[in-house]
Amino acid sequence: MTTSFDAVIVGSGFGGSIPALRLAQAGKKVLVLEQGRVYTETDFKQTWDLKYLSNIMNITTSDDYAVFFRSGMVLGGGSVVFSGLMNRSPSETFQFVDYNGYKVWPDAVSRQVLDPYYDRVEQMMSVRQATWEEVSKTGGMFAQLMNNAGLTCDRARFPYINCRECGFCEAGCIYGVKQSLMKNYIPQAQDAGVEFRTGCRAMQIMPSAAGYTVQYTGPDDTLTSVQGTVVIIAAGAIYSPELLLRSKQYLPSLSDQVGKNFNNNGGLRFGIELPDGLPSIECYKGRDSAAVMTYAYWHDYGITIEAGTSPAAIFAIDIHRPGESGWGLDFKHWAKSVYPSKLIVANIMGPVTGEGLVYLNNDIPAVSFPLTKTLADYRDRVIAPIQALTKANNAILLQTMGTGYMYSIDHMLGTCRIGDDPRYSPADPYGQIRNYPGLFVSDSSSLPCSTGVNPSTTVAANAERIADYIVTNW
Ligand SMILES: Cc1cc2nc3c(=O)[nH]c(=O)nc-3n(C[C@H](O)[C@H](O)[C@H](O)COP(=O)(O)OP(=O)(O)OC[C@H]3O[C@@H](n4cnc5c(N)ncnc54)[C@H](O)[C@@H]3O)c2cc1C
């Protein structure tokens, strides 16, 4: 087995597979290590059974068990299990200044700079705006509620070709309709000579004469070492800092910012109970994202909202009326009265200061994500227009568990962020880890802040940008 490569990449999601293809196209010898297995259309199941899901996702909680986080854990990473919503970040996102007065995005990154990279990603993944025929009844109803309040809502963008609207995007698409990285970047990278080793978990990274040594455990649990002139870490916002922190003894000049600045893309989940007299929306049907998104609150509140469909299993653990219990007989009667005809779930996203932390607890990654005053203020500020929206429609705003409106669980960002100021960013604007030339981050951990919308397109465009830099400079 080959042990020396021009580039070793850890993780095969958006941040990993995209540079893999671009570096191979530039003639580099590339290895990708992916801890998950290969899952294709014939392996996926249409179920929300946690036993099945835990084969294809990493599911973990915050250290106080208040919030849980999901991320992809298969070849193709999150692209295989995501709901597919791929809108570009609004330009203002890149100007965000946090509560410390720090402009978190480096000056080298703006919407204008990313646009050609967004173009590449959209072309590669066949991303296009959904038609109204592809919007579920839930999405249509959400758009109607917005319209009733004099506000706009439009169809979102997806990498789907001939979607059957079966409602199991996040369990893996059995029809092979979702254009995950398994349909484009990964096969093209394989054709260009990239070696993907699956079931291989990177354990630590250490400097070597040729660049860096990466040690990983393979499917048979043996420890193997490979060399890379360049090493790119793209294991996601919880697991990229895990790897760096575990390697700290070999990388003593690592910034103390690694693992800090964790944020959840400003995600807040809420529900709407529709008034009587409307047609049933069959809220479990259609794409997992209800295919609509509103920017109507962007100017005044700095948020966007996507509506989603709601499988019964998720509904039962997540949503209840304010002031009422989320379990027990009364809850059961109420749930039967609203599900699936009268329930919309939705997710708010917007720039927030990253105050969470990923750290190692007995060598296992842990996430601290408390409801700080800043987050509570953000929650109370951005839920206000939703209260007005539900009131205007004679609907009821439903709370989720935990913090009232539970923090979103799928959009983790910021733990190895790029930036202009070395004091606040472990990586330079091109993803290179400070003090370690040739060691890069190119995934969601490198994005310094919320993307204002679902993050994957921006993770992907930024990975294209970082790949360009590496091809030109290494
Ligand atoms: C259920 C769900 C729905 C989502 N829906 C949307 C959506 O509609 N739109 C959107 O924009 N975003 C969505 N997201 C978020 C999106 O998937 C992520 O933002 C995106 O995948 C992040 O890309 P990444 O490259 O940083 O990490 P990932 O795509 O998570 O890839 C990281 C990869 O690294 C691997 N890995 C981790 N540690 C190691 C290690 N030590 N060694 C080897 N391999 C390792 C993992 O197994 C994984 O495959 C969703 C996420 C989930 C979980």
Nearest CA to ligand 1 atom 38: 235
Please tell me the distance between residue 396's alpha carbon and the centre of ligand 1 in angstroms: 33
Tell me: pLDDT of 401 over 70. Answer: no
CA of 296 to the centre of ligand 1 (A): 28
pLDDT exceeding 90 applies to what percent of the chain?
88
Measured from the CB, is residue 450 less than 6 Å from ligand 1?
A: no
Closest listed residue to residue 292, CA positions, set 168, 153, 164, 389: 153
Q: What is the pLDDT of residues 171-199, one digit of tens each?
A: 999 999 999 999 999 999 999 999 999 99
pLDDT given for residue 469 in this prediction: 98
Average pLDDT over all residues of the chain:
94
Nearest CA to ligand 1 atom 39: 235
Whose CA is closest to atom 9 on ligand 1? 85
For residue 54, the CA-to-ligand 1 centroid distance in Å is 14
What distance in angstroms lies between residue 77's CA and the mean position of ligand 1's atoms?
A: 5
pLDDT of 369 > 80? The answer is: yes
The answer on pLDDT for 88 being more than 60 is yes
Quick one: DSSP state of residue 133?
G
- Give the distance (Å) from ligand 1 centre to CA of residue 70: 8
Tell whether the model's pLDDT for residue 313 goes beyond 80: no
Cα–Cα dist 440/460, whole Å: 15
pLDDT tens figures, 408-422 = 679 999 999 999 999
Q: Which atom of ligand 1 sits closest to the CA of residue 71? A: 53
User: Residue 214 Cα, ligand 1 centroid: separation in angstroms?
Assistant: 21
Instruction: Please tell me if the CB atom of residue 71 comes closer than 6 angstroms to any atom of ligand 1.
Output: yes
Which of 62-66, 72-76, 403-407 has the weakest average pLDDT? 403-407
CB atoms within 10 A of CB 437: 13
* pLDDT tens track for 237-296: 999 999 999 999 999 999 999 999 999 999 998 899 999 999 999 999 999 999 999 999
Cis peptide, bond prior to residue 448, ω within 30 of zero? no
Q: Report cis status (omega within 30 of 0) of the bond before 340.
A: yes
Is the separation of the CB atoms in 284 and 310 below 8 Å? yes
By C-alpha distance, which of 158, 194, 162, 150 is closest to 16?
194
From the CB of 308, is ligand 1 less than 6 Å away?
Answer: no
pLDDT bin (cut points 50, 70, 90) of residue 399 is confident
Q: Please tell me the distance between residue 341's alpha carbon and the centre of ligand 1 in angstroms.
A: 32
- The residue whose CA has the least distance to atom 37 of ligand 1 is 235
Return the beta strands (E) in 412-464 as ranges: 439-441
Residue 404 confidence (pLDDT): 61
Q: What is the pTM of this model?
A: 0.97
Ligand 1 contacts CB of residue 82 (under 6 A): yes
> What was the pLDDT predicted at 407?
63
Q: Determine if ligand 1 sits within 6 Å of the CB of residue 33.
A: yes
Give the mutation target among 44, 82, 466 for probing the ligand 1 site: most ligand atoms within 8 A of CB: 82
Q: Kindly tell me if the per-residue pLDDT of 102 is higher than 80.
A: yes
pLDDT tops 80 at residue 314:
no
Ligand 1 in reach of 230 Cβ (< 6 A):
no
pLDDT digits (tens, 9 = 90+) for 203-229: 999 999 999 999 999 999 999 999 999
* pLDDT in the model for residue 2: 72
136 Cα: distance to centroid of ligand 1 (angstroms)? 25
Q: Which of 296, 306, 297 has the alpha carbon at shortest distance from 138?
A: 306
CB of 451 closer than 8 Å to CB of 89: yes
According to the model, what pLDDT value does residue 44 have?
98
Ligand 1 contact, 443 CB (< 6 A): yes
pLDDT at 405 (0 to 100): 63
pLDDT of residue 37: 97
343-349/304-308 β-pairing: antiparallel
Residue pair 134/163 in contact (Cβ under 8 Å)? The answer is yes
CA neighbor of 466 nearest in space, from 91, 106, 204: 106
* Rounded CA separation 404/4 (Å): 51
| Residues 443 and 463 sit within 8 Å (Cβ to Cβ) | yes
Q: Is the pLDDT score of 312 beyond 80?
A: no
Residue 310: the pLDDT is 82
Query: Which ligand 1 atom is nearest residue 457's CA?
Result: 11
CA of 406 to the centre of ligand 1 (A): 20
Average the pLDDT over 396-410 and give the result.
73
Per-residue pLDDT of 432-461, as tens digits, reads 999 999 999 999 999 999 999 999 999 999
CA distance 423 to 416: 12
